[in-house]
Structure 1
Amino acid sequence: MKNLISVFAILMLSFSAYTQGIKFEHGDWASVKAKAQQENKIIFIDFYTSWCGPCKQMAKNIFPLENVGDFYNKNFVCYKLDAEKGEGVALAKKYGVKSYPTYIFTDSKGEFLHQGNGSMPAGNFINFGKEALDPEKHLANLIGGKKEISKEDMPRHLQELFDKKLPYDEKFQAYITSLSQEELITQQSFDLLLKFGGSAANGFAYETVVNNKTAFEEKLGKQMIENYFYRRMLSRVYEYKGRKESYAPVFEEARGLGYELEDKIEQTLVIYGYLKNNPHDFEGFVTKCKAFLKAYEYEDPALKEYPVFTMCSGRLFRNEVLDAYVFQLASELEASKSEYLPRAYGTIAQHYNKANLLEKGLEYYNKALASAKELGQNAEMLGKAVEYVKTRIQIIEKGNYTFNGKGFERYNGLAVNLWYYSPTKIGKIVETEKVAIKDGEFSLSGNTQTPLMGGFEIYDGKKKLLQGDMIIEAGTYPLTLGENGSFEVEQSFYNWTVYNGWKTFYAYKDILKKMWALEDKGNVDEAAKQQIEAYKQQLEVMKAEYISAIYKKSADPVAKALLALEGKLYVNKSKQNTSGDKVINELKNLIPNHYLIKTMQKKQ
């Protein structure tokens, strides 16, 4: 995930725009294929959407890089398609695109060759492109198969396609259609309809269940089939949600199938929307979830997994009562040997990692991996997650950091260095050795056993041309320079945390300045007094947002200290800052000897 670091820039050199990176074709699909045939190249397609964050990250930070452009422009005809507009809709469906960004490689006739998904660093993205140039590594080999897949082996083959996020719809439909009635009305076939048929109340799988509803009920029990329709009707309700239309047609459709689902769906919507309407009432949310399970879990045990665990775990580390309930649910899923358990443990691990509590994250990834193996589930991705976190822990333990700058061509030949507040001599600023910027690139390395408050400075020999604040932490981080003069730092936990704190803090200060400007006028009229009161109310809301939603939900104690230092201690105009003293005392219990605590005391 990309993290943006706000900086104060003083740009004193004129510069021109640089054209580099991947060159995408702007014609239609037919013209792209024609060009690929003419140049005897493979086609690379980036499927994106307008709302996809990782898509924007790749478009802004990876596609424009010179080394990425050199490789992709040399080897492929490159094309971008919005999967929700124009030709993109049909082509996304053709290639089985189900997440974004998805990268598809085809031959010049449009026949599928290879596929990948998600944002990735430049080096990984280039290596992924090299896979597309090697016929032996093409995922098309898996889809097409070197030999005919037998009916007995098709469920395993479909699972393999599903795990690798490859198109499976055609093979799935062909397989289900080939089954006799006796073969269709089984638990195995129903499980396949559940897994590969999607969650919508339409489509091939849904119609198959509708047309064979009575037979499935007799074989598997009415409650199981009712639970299937509950989840699809819930999906249908969300088609109406937000358009102020009645849900009545959905409930009527369910009654037509023989199910009374109105109360259950309405109660589901209550817990879905509870925190939106009551954003800080986590205890009330837990109470609603418990009441929901008490009413319906006996008939549908999977409700504990979805929606309850899913809804609760998405808000970990915001409230002690909610946290305790999430871990209680996980224990209950473990006791029942739920097939959802690996996903539950994986979700908890992700939240620990986001909070930079990597040892706990590793513990829960290992639990997820062990449970997946025990349940016979695909554990490949969990295994990779375990190795990634282990590597990250090793990097932090070693303390080595490297910042690799790219895109600084306008400063070629000038000097750049890091500075930071000394962790041993409070108040002293330490500057690292200056290095020259060459071809728009530089690399700054060092070692630290704790995150350091510091920044960058670029010199022309006499004065600073560019400076900006950031946090220095162990790891390797790409740096680029934005068009507006801001640094852009990728994959840095502490920078991301502080940046999000800054957004609220600086917005707070802007309103504070406006209020002071009115107060300093002396005699103010009634309208000005009302405006001052309005500003005060805004400030209280924003202060609560900073303290509660940002500071308190940061589980990592060093992140808390950074956020306190950057905003919490400065939210009052008064010189007496008792709230700041309270925060320092709280942090002393978490990190009693950390230099940030001493820095806060000195600055106060």
Structure 2
Amino acid sequence: MKKILYIILFHFFLFTNAQETNKKQETINFVSASFKEILKLAEKENKLIFIDCYTSWCAPCKWMDKFVFVEKDVFTFYNKSFINVKLDMEKGEGPEIGKKYGVKSYPTYLYINSKGELVHKSSSKMSATEFINEAKNALDPKKALGLLEKKYEDGQITNNEMLDYTIALNHLRDPKTDVVLKKLLSRVDNTWLKTAAGWKLIENFVNEDDSELFKVLNSNKAHFINLAGLDAVKKVYQKPLQRNLYKSSKEQNEALFFKQLDSLKKLTNNPRDLAIIECGYYLNGNNARKFIKTSNYYVDNFLQNDPETIAFLARSTLYPPERENKDILNQAQLLITKAYKMDPNNYGTVGTYAQIQSKAGNKKEAIAAAEIAVKMADTISSKVKNRALQNLQEIKKAN
């Protein structure tokens, strides 16, 4: 009987271990080898090399490992299309490769050919769909960043290719973005700017209402509505208008602010944007009565299922830090408590709850929430983790 039991247990553990092994294999298949060997393997298999540039302390890198690399569509596509390498940027060949390919943030994703030439590059935490799209861009000569960069440097790049190059640089927050954008604008005329490619440029780079691109948009509004649709055009108009609203709010220019706010309401009925901007105006003026009335209006009528925006309104009361207004603080407590009850698993909400409770003098409750926020920050980013730890220490030191 004991012998049979041992056999059953033995096979059970074998089965369990096999399951665990299979689970571990359901991710991107990263090859362990020297960079020189990886290049040879890529040449032999006629594939590009994908390098996940990470560090041991990078929270977004861990998030990608845990939630994106394990997606079936992701690892199936990457295992089929690339020689995959995971490289710690602080160990072994990492620092040298990071320097060679301009890796300045983590995670950064490099797509390299068998000659060691950069074909494409992207960075940051992203969804599975976005991550697969980056891989497809790497495999498409018309969209691969490295190939576009080479064409640009050789002076062999078309206007449409330069457009894609500029957008890719902007996505990476590359300091060359403005230089390339100005060069592109010097090459194109109004005829090109009125094409689908020109609209793509306007859509991505109109931020100020005194820019040349905005003037083109404004002078040809009916044309672009016909080309891209009314909603898309309204969305572009919103960006410079909202910038102007923040400026007039800060300056407390009441007449200009509400004129601009009326204009914004014609472009969007998004209650989040309107609530944040209007409540922000009253906070900038330290007007407790109007802030309470306006925040209650939006929360009661439009934000009943939007704890993130409610938390944002509460968080806005924390700035400037020297603000001392008991009525505003009381309203902030009501707002953040409501948001916290609705969504206790949101890092921003939990962190804000801790800060507001601390400011209100509820130290024990503030510390408890701040400690939860620190744990939650592990899956977001190293910067957020550091900020969460800093908030916790500040709360502990507060009287």
TM range (shorter): 0.3 to 0.5
By relative contact order (CA 8 Å, sep 6+), the higher-ranking structure is 1
TM-score by length of 2: 0.41
Query: Which structure has the larger Rg over C-alpha atoms?
Result: 1
TM-score by length of 1: 0.28
Question: Which structure's residues are more often strand, by fraction?
Answer: 1
